[in-house]
Amino acid sequence: MTINAAHILGWFEGEEGYNVLTRNLADAIAHRIPVYRTNLPRRDGDSAIIARGTQDHGASGDLANLLFAWADQMVYLDQLPGIKIPYVIWETSKLPDAWIDPLKKADRLWVPCRWARDMLVENGLPVEQIDIVPLGADVSVFHPDARPEPEVASLPGFKFVTVGRWQYRKGTTELLRAFDAEFAGQEGVRLVMSCHNPHRSDIDIKTELKKLCLSCLDQITFLNAGVPNHKMAGVYNACDAAVFPTRSDPWGLPISEAMSCGLPVIATRFGGPADFMTSETGYLLDWSSAPCPWMPVIMADGDYGSWSEPDFAQLRKLMRHIFDHQDEARTVGIRAARHIAEQWTWDHAGDAAVTALLGI
């Protein structure tokens, strides 16, 4: 069998991680083989219409259907001819109940990192069926010479930046507490946050901050919601370091993008960052295993699996170290940008994807 085209079904529209990876990986594959695209509705839709739309593409020969969405959306592939490959992104050690059977029916399984591969195997899926297809950074957008965002650049002092939804998985409140404990009242250091959560209308940032009783509120800057992904390069380049104490990131697009801009980055040595970060190109947080308290899926036994619990005491030390050793940190950031450009771009991701397809 020779795969000569790919049909990609996914959430193309929007600025969240799934949207960014779907667009960029589709473009990277399209530079190598023909690609047909179907934008999925966010959580439901008419699979028959999608099947008919695929047939209208006129693809011939051996076609690979790639699903860039949650695995319970594999119903969209049921009526399609050709190979069926879901790109599996999940954050804990235990797959949702509704995912297991659909994944067992797939011809191949793609994952972004080694941890994700091992997690699928632990959930009963065959290792010989799994391909690691990493994500990447758009180095034409995220690079050290991108124009700094003026409003952020005008903020005084040394600036840490974090990007990610306000949620438990991202370690948002723990980061705020660590920053407060280490830097409250210290002039010349600031935390810039882009942490709007579009899926939690009940979260009011002012209310959440009040609950934390922080002393450093005048040292925190929140960016407006809805900053487009491509404009984040200017935010990164207006700051001095980035920090991502997440409990789980199967890849971590903002992490690789901040590195690509030349920032020294703190991130948890878990999931995707454990693959694309090293002690030479970033500051890695140690972690211990901890149960995941909840995920927005049904688990019949109430067990959501485990993920990492970052060492938040170490987080304080690393932020202090970067602030106190800024020349060293800048050197680490320069190495990080070179590392991403040489090994972890969307072009590299496209190579990995097509290599996996040609190996079927």
| Identity of the residue numbered 104 | K
pLDDT > 50? residue 358: yes
Distance CA(323)–CA(197), nearest Å, equals 28
| Identity of the residue numbered 71 | A
Together in a domain, 258 and 323: yes
Give the DSSP H or E segment for 238.
none
Average pLDDT (80-109) is: 97
259-271 per-position pLDDT tens digit: 999 999 999 999 9
Does residue 142 form part of some domain?
Answer: no
Contact 47, 69 (CB under 8 A): no
Together in a domain, 179 and 32: no
Contact 18, 74 (CB under 8 A): no
pLDDT > 80? residue 286: yes
CATH number at residue 37: 3.40.50.2000
Together in a domain, 57 and 203: no
| Identity of the residue numbered 264 | P
Together in a domain, 283 and 195: yes
Does residue 303 form part of some domain?
Answer: yes
Together in a domain, 85 and 204: no
pLDDT > 60? residue 302: yes
Contact 272, 255 (CB under 8 A): yes
Together in a domain, 180 and 311: yes
| Identity of the residue numbered 260 | S
Together in a domain, 242 and 354: no
Together in a domain, 45 and 101: yes
pLDDT given at position 43: 56
Of the spans 36-50, 70-84, 126-140, which averages the highest pLDDT?
Answer: 126-140
Together in a domain, 191 and 276: yes
pLDDT given at position 226: 77
Among all chains, which residue has been given the structure tokens 């695995």?
71
Together in a domain, 68 and 205: no
5-58 per-position pLDDT tens digit: 999 999 999 989 999 999 999 999 999 999 999 999 865 545 444 544 444 454
Together in a domain, 181 and 199: yes
In sequence order, what are the residues at sequence separation of 6 or more whose Cβ sits closer than 8 angstroms to the Cβ of residue 179?
160, 191, 216, 219, 220, 319
Together in a domain, 128 and 165: no
pLDDT given at position 50: 52
pLDDT > 90? residue 314: yes
pLDDT given at position 178: 99
Distance CA(146)–CA(260), nearest Å, equals 11
Number of folded domains that form the chain? 2
Contact 275, 134 (CB under 8 A): yes
What residue numbers bound the domain in which 99 lies? 3-136+346-358
Mean pLDDT (the chain) is 94
Does residue 145 form part of some domain?
Answer: no
